[in-house]
């Protein structure tokens, strides 16, 4: 594996391998000193054109726990503000020496472009509406940790699918691991075409709830109200929000997931977010181990995990 750009590139075997390696790093992160020398001497750059403290911290923590050197490129206070092009920025960083670059950008496809311009490995940490593969990996890991396997599991992804890189990566990842995925959203929040998507789609969340093993709730962004895709947040909540009443219709043991940050009271009720079936903090914890696994598999050729 040279880059991690899309879940589509991994396939079931690739995903399984990353999840297997993640097991080892979950063990490492539970140690008193959660650090291994696997990537000593390697330099990993985090290049976040779109602020995301959670994802950036998760990657940087993962890199440090592997003993890699971490460079943080902060777009807000850099030459980018002075009009430097994406390519020039990337080539400048490359010239300083790096082994991997973790890229987050508001435009779909930027990690692909960066991978054309540099010799280093590129990790997609979220590109526009397109993909967020490490999120999908940590989600799959979390489900497997709780339910044993994704094979045959019924998973609903609810909310703003159209603008969601998390949904795109998760549909591919969950399907590859054998789950049956259903998208639940008003048509204005669905992609214009679902041709080729390995999933079902419905607008009736209530009918689906009793059959689910996992309900994956997406963040509802307030900006959408100005784009005439929804009349109001209240109307969204009444039809698609995971309220306490709806959560009560889930089977026992069903998981409630969310990529964060949550809008409590909009897509998920506060009491549901804090209930025992909710594995949101577990997702965050597993995120570090999954990202360690990804960086290790990209850069750790020959090294043992220890």
Binding site for another protein (CB under 8 A): 85-87, 105, 107-110, 112-113, 127-131, 165, 168, 191-197
For 21, the token pair is: 């390696």
Rg of the chain over all Cα atoms, to the nearest angstrom: 19
Burial 139-169 (b: 16+ CB within 10 A, else e): bbbbbbebbeebeebbbbbbbbbbbbbbbbb
Cβ distance to another protein smaller for residue 32 or 195? 195
For 199, the token pair is: 């999933």
State in angstroms the smallest separation of the CB of 195 from another protein.
Answer: 4
Cβ distance to another protein smaller for residue 143 or 161? 161
State in angstroms the smallest separation of the CB of 21 from another protein.
Answer: 28
Cβ distance to another protein smaller for residue 7 or 299? 7
State in angstroms the smallest separation of the CB of 278 from another protein.
Answer: 28
Cβ distance to another protein smaller for residue 65 or 105? 105
State in angstroms the smallest separation of the CB of 189 from another protein.
Answer: 13
User: What DSSP designation does 149 have?
Assistant: -
State in angstroms the smallest separation of the CB of 285 from another protein.
Answer: 28
Q: Distance from first CA to last CA of the chain, Å, rounded?
A: 21
Rounded to whole angstroms, how far apart are CA atoms 12 and 160?
Answer: 26
Cβ distance to another protein smaller for residue 118 or 255? 118
């Amino acid at each position: 594996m040279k880059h991690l750009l899309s879940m589509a590139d991994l396939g079931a075997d690739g995903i399984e391998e990353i999840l297997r390696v993640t097991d080892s790093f979950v063990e490492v992160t539970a140690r008193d000193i959660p650090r291994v020398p696997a990537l000593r001497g390697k330099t990993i750059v985090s290049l976040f054109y779109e602020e995301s403290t959670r994802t950036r911290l998760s990657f940087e923590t993962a890199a440090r726990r592997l003993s890699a050197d971490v460079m943080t490129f902060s777009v807000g206070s850099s030459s980018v503000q002075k009009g430097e092009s994406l390519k020039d920025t990337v080539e400048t960083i490359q010239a300083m020496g790096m082994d991997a670059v973790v890229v987050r950008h508001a435009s779909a496809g930027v990690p692909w472009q960066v991978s054309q311009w540099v010799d280093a490995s590129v990790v997609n940490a979220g590109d526009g509406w397109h993909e967020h593969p490490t999120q999908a990996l940590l989600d799959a890991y979390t489900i497997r940790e709780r339910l044993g396997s994704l094979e045959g599991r019924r998973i609903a992804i609810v909310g703003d699918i159209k603008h969601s890189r998390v949904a795109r990566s998760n549909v591919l990842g969950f399907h590859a691991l054998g789950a049956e995925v259903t998208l639940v959203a008003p048509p204005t929040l669905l992609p214009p075409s679902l041709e080729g998507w390995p999933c079902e789609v419905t607008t009736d969340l209530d009918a689906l709830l009793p059959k689910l093993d996992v309900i994956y709730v997406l963040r509802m962004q307030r900006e959408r109200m100005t784009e005439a895709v929804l009349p109001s947040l209240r109307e969204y909540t009444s039809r698609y929000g995971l309220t306490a009443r709806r959560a009560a219709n889930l089977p026992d043991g069903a998981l409630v997931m969310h990529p964060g940050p949550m809008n409590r009271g909009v897509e998920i009720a506060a009491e549901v977010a804090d209930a025992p079936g909710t594995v949101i903090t577990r997702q965050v914890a597993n995120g570090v181990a999954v990202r360690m696994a990804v960086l290790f598999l990209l850069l750790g050729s020959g090294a043992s995990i220890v």
